[in-house]
Structure formats: structure tokens, C-alpha cells
Structure 1
Amino acid sequence: MKKTIAYLLTLFSSVTAADELKIYIWEDYISPQLVQRWEQKTGHKVTLTYFDNEESRDAVLGSDNAKAFDLTIMNTVAAQLFGKNNKLYGVSHSNLPSLKFIDPKWRDSCGNFGLPYLWGSLGILYKKNKVVPAPTSWADILKPEPKYHNKIVMLTDGVDTLAPALLYQHKNVNTEDQAELKDAFNTMRDQAEAVLSYEYVISYVEDKSVDQNVYMALGYSGDQSTLNELGGDEWGFVAPKEGSSIWIDCFSIMDFSPNKALALNFLEFINQPKNAAENSVEVGVATTNLEAQKLLPPELRDDESTYPSDDIMASSQLYRILSDDNMSLRGRIVNAVLKQHEAQ
């Protein structure tokens, strides 16, 4: 305990009032009140810059523009890739003592390239008053009833765009098998005529210049909370019965950041159990912090759209690093689906 206190005193004393912490993050993915309290406590300003898809984020972080940021959010696969390329600063129990609060099942998910932050699943977002009964299967969005045609929004992503088809066909979402990917392409191609857009649903709905008549969307647990905050009809989320892709997001420090001590200070603050619980409630996403889970209100802790049932978890899959050839093939498949959609 004395060593931890001494370390934290050193950490606090090594930052100056002039330092500003710049974070590259999904929109609505951290509690504004939590950020404000940290600013008030330390006297440092936080600037949030948003991305709305992982491809654009990775392009920025792979360029000189990455030097504009101290911290970023990325999934476990991206954290491993960027970390192995010496883009991320290493964290451990010695410089981030609050790692002890992370649930053991998630503790190693980011390696030493970030703090396991939030986790969740890929699934179907739906308007509760429009989609009755609620969806239960990937078939509900892949092979929708005619009344839902042109009211569906998907994603543009080399992994997640194809995941519903692979999960529906009981295949591995990380498959390298070309025949399985071809079958997934055929399913997604057939679905294209029913799709309104392949833009991330939150970005799409926020754009008031486009058709707002969206009933279902491919998205992530927690997205329903953001959509509900935007107003209008109430949204729900379901991880389909065939299983889901489970993601864990890492809060990572850029290796070239001049504010590493400040970034560690921030991560240590947000990962204190009380703060992590507050943040989880605010953003509506599952926390990796085991002690924080104990502080959650029952309506969140027992909500299967946030914490899936044991049966869904047993049939779900974690992401892993894919080969360059596989990612290239997936990119071509997704582009072909988009062209099919544009040609309609």
C-alpha cells in the first residue's frame, strides 16, 4: 500500500498545470461528469475528438496525425497490433495499480497495451414500437420481412459487416476459409436490397438530412442508450440466439505522447470502482471492473442486453488477429456488397 501511495504521489507531481489531455474516442463513450470532475481535481483540461468507425481511426493513428492524441480507445485486436508496432505505451500493475479491479476474465485482454475499459456484444438494435415481436435471431435482420425493407441500417467494417452471416451459419467470425466467406458474401448480397444504409447507425440518425425511418440496425450493446438520448422512439438491443461477437475496448496511451504521466493519472481515476460504475451507468455499457459491477443498480447489472446470459456467452466468440490476406479479402467482399447496394 505504501508503495502504491508513493507511486501515485509521484504520478501527480510529475504533471504540470499547462498539460492538456487529448483523447480520441467514440462519441458518448465516457461520462462527461466524470471527465469534468477529473479536470476540477487536477486542473488539467481534457479535449475529446470523436471517430465513428475503426477504419478511419486506424488510418489516423497510423499517420502523423496520431501525434495530436495522448489516449485512444481501440478494441483488443487493434491494441495488440498497434502495441506490437511500438505505437502504444505499456501499462502494468506497477504504473496502473487499479488494474487489480479488472475482472480476471478480461484482465489480459489488452495485453500490456491498455486498460480493459468496457465490453459488450454485437447485435441487433431495434425500435421497440416498430419491430414486434422483438428480434431473436440474426435471420430477423439478414432475411427481414418485407415491411422492414429499406428500414435497416448496417455497418461498413471488414469483420462486423460479415459477422451476422457467419454467426447465423454457425461459422467462426474469424474464419480464414474462403468458401465460408463466400457464403457470407452471398447472404449479405441478398440482404442488400432491404438495407437503407451501411453507415454506423448513430452517425446516420444524427444526420437529420437523411431518411430517419430506421427500424433495425446492426450495432453494439450500449448503442441503444445513445439512440434513446437522441429522442424519438425507444430503442432496444438483443444479442441473437445464434451467438454474438464479444468485444473488449482498451483505453490506451500513445507511445509518443508527451503526457504519459497525465494519461496514467486519468486512467487510474476513471478505473476506481465508484467512478467506473458511474461511467458504466452513464454510457450504458458493461464495465470490465469487477468491483464496479457490485455497485451497479440491479436494472443494469441484470439487463441481458448489457450482460448477456450464460447461454449467449457460451455461443459467442472473441475477436482475434486476422491475416493480411484475410483482411484484404474481407475488404473486397464488403466493397462488393456496397456496390451491390448502390446499384439498386
Structure 2
Amino acid sequence: MRQGLAATTLLLGLFGCTTLARAETLNLLIWEAYIDQAILDAWTASTGIAVRQIYFDSGDARDEILADPNSNIDLSVVGENGSALFGKRGILAPIGEDSVPSLKDYKTQWTARCGGYGAPYLWGTMGIVYRSDKVTTTPTSWKDLMQPAPALKKHIAMYDDHNEAFIAPLIMLGKSINANDSETLKLAFELMKAQAPSVLTYDYVITSIDNPDYGREIYMALAYSGDQKVLNEKMGTSGVWRYAVPQEGTLSWLDCLAVTASSPRKAQAMKLLDYILSAKSAALNAQTLGMPASSTAALALIPDTIKADPAIYTPEDILKKSQYQTELSVSSIQTRRRIISAMANFQ
């Protein structure tokens, strides 16, 4: 994505807030529009401790920030693989029910996936978002995105993260989304290259939709579940942006919320983490964002009508065909990044 620009912007912001952070302020590294502000406001009102959100727009950009020992981050949203990886490297602090009591409301199937260095935050799938006023037939296959109709030429937004960019082509090929071998990645590259003339941008749709030059020209995009709600809010188009999970299956992801090991405000950060994970906060957050909750106690507070919405709680038959991400080999990451860098030449 805009990895260089994003990382530079974030680091400048972080270094610029050093004085503020030494006061009663916690720095939270997070996707844009990924937490209900009312939760943070309530926390600040009750504790006097402010929370400063610092946005990233790709996993690669986030990882650069977390790997920087001077980044001044207290809490961060990380993927389940990143939680374990950064934890083993001493970047994230270990957590358990002793430090985060709200974890008692989360089943082991969720907590185990964060590897002991993060807490289950939100989960979902990857799929296709589309403007229903421009795309009148609901996408049902990854082919609708990778081999789009002629009318969608230069109206497609993809995503140049080295993991997510390969979800659609690899599933179309009937391969694992965690493929490491060069032959499989080469086949994926051929599909991506054929799609490239139809792609308007490789920037994450939540960010690119704000671009005044082409944001309103995006009709279909690779996206995460829940992104349709953010897009409608940004565009002022209630219900126009919709989300569909292709029938071939997809990525089933889990984001974890973690505390950095180097935070000088670790005790406060743990308390904020516990507050966000509490049943009331988790239920409010899930409903506000249009995302599924992973807390058993929070689920009991969410209306059945929401839990029955397939755009939020993906049907079991689709989930059975979905895959989890695992750690990729170094050579696979390098190959994937080279392919992404080459894509601009084929547009």
C-alpha cells in the first residue's frame, strides 16, 4: 500500500507526541475506524487517561512501527500470527486472566490463536465490497473481482499487502493462501497481471475512497468484513456499499489487541485492554462497527437480528471452506513483495 508514506507519517506523528505521551495518554496503533470512540471517551472520563489513536493502513506498515524500539506505542491491533511472532521477539507483553480479567469471557479457541501475547479483539472474513448502485448483481465468486466485467475496468480497488493481495488468486487456483512455493506464486502472479488493466488503485479501499481524484470511481474492491459500513459512513450512502463472501471460501481472520513490552505505561495499558474486552464494551464495539464479537458474554448482549446477518456473522458453510493464515517463509514474503511491486507496470 502506501507503506513508505504511511510509515513516515506515523513515525513523525509518534515522535511529535512524545511530550504528550509522557503525560496521562496511551498511544493505540490501530486501523482507521476500528473502535467505537464512545468506548475510549468513557474510559477517559472514568480514569482521566486519554487515548491517542494512531492509524496504519496495511499490516506491513504496522509491523514497521512495532519493530521500531522508539515508536512509543502502548497498545496495538495485530494479526494472530503477528501476536505470536512479536511476542516471541519480546516486542509484546504476555497477558493472561491475571492481568486482563475479561479474558475469562473468551473461549480457548479464541485466546489460543493470539499466542499468549494478545487478546481476541475482532474477527471476520475477507471478501468483496461493491456499490450496489453500480454493480447490480451480487458477486458470488472471486472471478467477479479477478476477472471483472468490462464495465468495471478502472473501477476496481485491490490491496498491496503481501498476505491479503494473494487471497483471491490463490483460492481461485484451489491453493493454500499460505503458499510458499515459487511455482504457485507465479501462477497467482499471472492472474493478478491479467486483472491489472481493470484495477484503478492498489490502495486499501478505506483509505483510497477518500482520494478526491478517484475515490468515487471505485465500484468494487477487495475488503474485510465490516468495511462496507465504514464506506457507507464515509460516502454518506447508507446501504449502498455491500459486502459478499465468495462461494469458493476465503480468509477467516482474527485480530488481537496487544500491549507492548516496552511501554512505560504498561499497567495502564493492561487496564485499558481489559476495559475494551469487557462484555459491555465488546458488545457496543461489535454493534457499532458491524463486526462479530468473540466474547461469549458480549454475544449474550447482542440482538439476535444482528447475529443472523450473514454480512456480519458469516454462514457456517462458508466458514468451513475458509482458511487461516500461518507464518510465511522469508523467501515467500520476498517473492510476494516483488510481485506486488511489479503490478503497477501492468496497469
Taking structure 2 as the reference length, the TM-score comes to: 0.90
What SS class does the counterpart of residue 108 from structure 1 fall into? helix
Shift of 1:53: 1.1
The partner residue of 1:306 within 304, 308, 312 is 312
Shift of 1:19: 2.5
Matched, 1:36 2:53: no
Q: After TM superposition, where is structure 1 displaced by more than 6 Å over at least 4 residues in a row?
A: none
Cα separation, partners in 2 of 1:240 and 1:112, compared to 1, 3 Å: same
Shift of 1:18: 4.5
Matched, 1:329 2:335: yes
Shift of 1:177: 2.3
Name 2:83's counterpart in structure 1.
79
Shift of 1:297: 2.3
Matched, 1:24 2:3: no
CA displacement 1:195-248 (0-9 Å, x = unmatched): 100000011111223352111000100111100101244111111100011111
What SS class does the counterpart of residue 209 from structure 2 fall into? helix
What SS class does the counterpart of residue 130 from structure 1 fall into? coil
Matched, 1:265 2:271: yes
Partners of 1:335 and 1:22 in 2: how far apart?
A: 31
CA contact (8 A) 2:24 2:48 kept: no
Taking structure 1 as the reference length, the TM-score comes to: 0.91
What amino acid maps onto 2:189 in structure 1?
Answer: F
Shift of 1:253: 0.5
Percent of aligned positions with the same letter in both sequences?
36
What amino acid maps onto 1:127 in structure 2?
Answer: R
Q: CA RMSD in A?
A: 1.4
Shift of 1:103: 3.3
Name 1:4's counterpart in structure 2.
none
Name 1:196's counterpart in structure 2.
200
What pairs with 1:28-177 in structure 2 (closer than 5 Å)?
A: 28-66=33-71, 68-177=72-181
Which runs of no fewer than 5 residues in structure 2 stay unpaired? 1-21
Partners of 2:185 and 2:55 in 1: how far apart?
A: 31
Partners of 1:232 and 1:29 in 2: how far apart?
A: 18
CA displacement 1:279-338 (0-9 Å, x = unmatched): 111112112112211211233211112111111101000011111111111111211223
Which runs of no fewer than 5 residues in structure 1 stay unpaired? 1-16
Matched, 1:284 2:284: no
Name 1:248's counterpart in structure 2.
254
Q: Which moves more between the two structures, 200-209 or 255-264?
A: 200-209
Partners of 1:206 and 1:65 in 2: how far apart?
A: 30
Name 2:9's counterpart in structure 1.
none
Name 1:213's counterpart in structure 2.
217
